[in-house]
Structure 1
Amino acid sequence: MKHAIPEDRRLGGFGGGHAVVIGASTTGLVATAAAARHFRTVTNLERDQLPDEPVWRRGVPQGRHVHSLLTGGQNVLNHYFPGLTSDMVAAGAVEVDLGNDIVWHHSGGWKQRFPSGVRMQCQSKGYLEWYARQRLLRWPSVSFRPGSSVSGLLMRGARVGGVRLADGSEIEADLVIDASGRSSNTPLFLEQLGLPRPAITELPVDIGYSSQIFRPGPGSRDWKGMLIHSSPPATRTAALMPLEGGRWIVTLVGWNGDQPGGNPESFLEWARGLPAPDLHRAIVDAEPLERVWRWRFPSNLRRHYERMTRLPDGLVVVGDANTSLNPIYAQGMSQGAIGASLLDACLDQQRRERGKADLSGLSLRFHRTYGRFIDECWMTSTAEDYGVLGTAKQRAWHAPLLARYLHRFTELTWHDPQAARAFLDVMNLQKAPTSLLRPGLLWKALAGTRRAPLAQAPACGSQ
């Protein structure tokens, strides 16, 4: 699953010179940077007004909740914006070692803690977007048009040649990149042009989120964050992660109708019912800094652009606009960033094979490449969901077997650092899920001695 990032060279002038990116989310910002390597000018269209400071914005309702940047996403962002994550850490974001700095209760047991070398960066989504956007604002070939809502696609012959805005104006483009998120209107726009919508795969989960920001209470701790990740029939999961400014963000996650509360009192009471009491103990004396924010995630949703036989050239769809995964597995931002880097690689290949003035075939090339990567992300993020929540009609034949194996593998990660590291590599989009089936790990998970989970959260480095 680890992908090579194209060499950082400004090539410019591809296919006529102008690309349009729809959306200024994390994915949209990386896609803008990737496109700027190949086109003379890039215009980013965002329907929101973009804030002048690192804060939440209205068009990203999920931005109020935990957003962690996995290793795969960090690698991409630091490639296009050198030193970005270091700059953010210097300004208050927090980098953690996932094996050592996080106390993690996973499916009934605490994981051992050990120096894993697998890093994750923690900050608010608004903070990350603002820092990346400030970098792009310095690039003379990039322009932002906030308050611009796209209402349709322009066709030039058999290919997409730009976008129409809600105010009736039009913008010509050689390539349109849709990074507008889960609510993408591209399927509707295609239908308006007499083209089919992409087929979809959907796994309903109906998960409810509640989040609140705290100032940590008194006392010392040997951890920076905490995860309480349960498996059904348990219905409650939670994450406590550090934020810039010495704060905590706590996100409570419930499913099967067990939704977390929307006020401070019910928030704390719901946290009391988590499978382990430690997170409730951590926040009961913490100082709430904001109201409780709620959000619902209805389903894992994949739009199969890679299967379309009539997808016009001049259009690519990336990030949540293509595939929206259960946020509990933290892959969303990194999946989109890697997708943008795959587009960069496809443009490189296109240039080598067809020359810099020919974009024919790029849409199919990109979506098939991206689809293979999404296959792996989908497998990682939905294995447990399919095994437990999916109907018999939805499940692939192997889904229940895979879910059971992953549960046994999780038990192995409670005590085995090698298994725990392998799990972290897959979670961080550094290795394919099939790496968990290596013979040595497979044997230990299925035939090794099963050990009881730790009764309490372990101390730092206590393998």
Structure 2
Amino acid sequence: MSRRAVVVGAGLAGMLAAAVLSTAGVDEVIVLDRDELPDGPEHRKGLPQGRHAHLLMTGGLNAMEELLPGVGLRRRLLAAGAHEVSLSSGMLARTPEGWLRRWRREGPSMVTCSRALLDWVVRSAVRDMAPVRFRRAAVVGLTGSAERVRGVRIAAPGGDTDLAADLVVDASGRGTRVVSWLDGLGLSGVRERAVDSGLVNASRVYRVPEGAERFPLTIVQANPYVSRPARSAMVMPIEGGRWLVSCGGSRGGEPPADPEGFLRYTLALPDPIVGRLISGAEPLTDVHLSRSTSNVRRYLEKLPRWPEGFVVLGDALATFNPAYGHGMSVAAFGARVLGRELDRAGSLGAPGLARRVLRGAARSADGAWSMAVSQDVLYPGVRGGRPTPGDRVLTAYTRRMMKAATGSYAAAAAIWDVTSLRTPPTRMFHPGAVLAALAGSPLPPSTEPPLTPGERAVLRGLDRTGV
């Protein structure tokens, strides 16, 4: 009998898992998804956050290139119109402690494009490198027992049908039904935690005005330290000569869906730069809202028993507030764990393989989970958590580090390394980073964005607000 793997979900986690399985020598890899997958970079229903800003951090891109050897993923993305943005020099960032300076030094970067483009490029790369089959289908359960999963059950007009598999990967995202699927096998008691700040995302696409093609990515970050709802906004370059403008507000500070209210929201932020930029830009779409933004952690690895032949990756295991830009990278880290464990085991049926993958994927999500939750619990009206004494100590240190980063390259570099997922959060406690935090900024805080003369002229030329 040939070895078959079934992947549930054709998003990033699913496609990267399919690539890993194919390169590991699995005879047949089938990817199931409810959606009809588009032939190009088009939005689809199965990506609830697909119209909003997504940042592919250095750590995530490196993991993806490792999982897709020889296809030149970074090159493909840039050729398709994606942008590579340096965190040290290519970004204007107003933090709760003030504007970060821009440094003419090497540092981590991120890739910006629409989520539709990213998914399409990754899917095309996987198709080019591996014989993966795609099938439109809705999975309604698992087959097998509490000891071993034998496949999936698929909804069909004439009655459900079963698809046998030696390994099933649940990469179905935020909408996973994994808890009920496990319950159907007699495995109950999954511990879950949800931390929901009530974040609402509102996004609109604009044409980049003539002369503003090289204007830096611009972000006004939310402030979790003032006992008020989160409010933030970002102008991000994407493919096709466009800006994707995303606003985010937690419970009580949600952005509106009407165009005039959207602009007023950006202008009312601690710095109105985003509103000033877009006031003179041509909108290309309506404002799109999304409320599916909570942090959710399913502690599947804690179950006393776990079936062989079943793996859970990506958002199906841990889902993050998308404001932090970590979900795609964590999905890649989980797929990398799958690949490494398959290499060690040498077989889909190796005893304990599924449990080792699950535990490794959970560990790879822990750092991003801690970063997201430790900030979200500070906002008023959050559901599912309150800051612990440990959270408050960490928050005080992080805030001191961020204040130092407004004028200290050493402090800023530590923050960039952690937020880009290039290093674990412990990087913030290396001796050099601690010294930078204790020393503080050697430069006075900047009350104005660090613009070049040319960028300042672009902003003035676009500004229709009179602010």
**Cα distance in structure 1, aligned partners of 2:389 and 2:383:** 12
Task: Say whether residues 1:112 and 2:101 are aligned partners.
Answer: yes
Following superposition of structure 1 onto structure 2, how do residues 27-426 of structure 1 map, counting pairs within 5 Å? 27-38=13-24, 39-81=26-68, 82-114=71-103, 115-139=105-129, 141-146=131-136, 148-155=137-144, 158-167=147-156, 168-220=160-212, 223-232=215-224, 233=226, 234=228, 235-351=230-346, 356=347, 358-388=349-379, 394-426=386-418
Query: Per the alignment, do residues 268 and 310 of structure 1 end up closer, same or farther by CA in structure 2, a change over 3 Å counting?
Result: same
**Cα distance in structure 2, aligned partners of 1:436 and 1:254:** 27
Task: Say whether residues 1:457 and 2:449 are aligned partners.
Answer: yes
Query: Per the alignment, do residues 50 and 247 of structure 1 end up closer, same or farther by CA in structure 2, a change over 3 Å counting?
Result: same
Instruction: Check whether the contact 1:206–1:299 (CA below 8 A) recurs between aligned residues.
Output: yes
Instruction: Check whether the contact 1:101–1:460 (CA below 8 A) recurs between aligned residues.
Output: no
Query: Per the alignment, do residues 52 and 357 of structure 1 end up closer, same or farther by CA in structure 2, a change over 3 Å counting?
Result: closer
Following superposition, the deviation at residue 418 of structure 1 comes to: 1.5
Following superposition, the deviation at residue 396 of structure 1 comes to: 3.9
Deviations 1:244-286 (A, max 9, x none): 0110000000113111010211110111111111111110001
Q: Structure 2, unaligned stretches of length 5 or more?
A: 456-467
Deviations 1:172-208 (A, max 9, x none): 1111001100110111111122211421122121101
TM-score, scaled to structure 1: 0.91
Q: Which residue is equivalent to 1:24?
A: 10
**Cα distance in structure 1, aligned partners of 2:393 and 2:232:** 23
**Cα distance in structure 2, aligned partners of 1:388 and 1:399:** 13
Instruction: Check whether the contact 1:22–1:44 (CA below 8 A) recurs between aligned residues.
Output: yes
Following superposition, the deviation at residue 116 of structure 1 comes to: 3.3
- Greater Cα shift, 310-319 or 364-373: 364-373
SS of structure 2 residue aligned to 1:259: coil
Following superposition, the deviation at residue 313 of structure 1 comes to: 1.1
SS of structure 2 residue aligned to 1:52: coil
Instruction: Check whether the contact 1:210–1:295 (CA below 8 A) recurs between aligned residues.
Output: yes
Instruction: Check whether the contact 1:98–1:116 (CA below 8 A) recurs between aligned residues.
Output: no
Deviations 1:130-189 (A, max 9, x none): 11212223355310112x000110105720010000111211111100110011011111
Following superposition, the deviation at residue 386 of structure 1 comes to: 3.0
Deviations 1:351-391 (A, max 9, x none): 2xxxx363221122112222222221212222222345568
Query: Per the alignment, do residues 453 and 46 of structure 1 end up closer, same or farther by CA in structure 2, a change over 3 Å counting?
Result: same
Following superposition, the deviation at residue 27 of structure 1 comes to: 1.2
SS of structure 1 residue aligned to 2:94: strand
Query: Per the alignment, do residues 444 and 157 of structure 1 end up closer, same or farther by CA in structure 2, a change over 3 Å counting?
Result: closer
Q: Which residue is equivalent to 1:11?
A: none
Counterpart AA for 1:368: R
Q: Structure 1, unaligned stretches of length 5 or more?
A: 1-14
**Cα distance in structure 2, aligned partners of 1:144 and 1:298:** 28
SS of structure 1 residue aligned to 2:449: coil
Query: Per the alignment, do residues 157 and 191 of structure 1 end up closer, same or farther by CA in structure 2, a change over 3 Å counting?
Result: closer
Query: Per the alignment, do residues 221 and 21 of structure 1 end up closer, same or farther by CA in structure 2, a change over 3 Å counting?
Result: closer
Which consecutive segments of 4 or more residues in structure 1 shift more than 4 A? Answer: 218-222, 387-394, 449-452
Counterpart AA for 1:269: R
Superposition CA RMSD, Å: 2.2
**Cα distance in structure 2, aligned partners of 1:242 and 1:391:** 33
* Residue-pair matches, total: 443
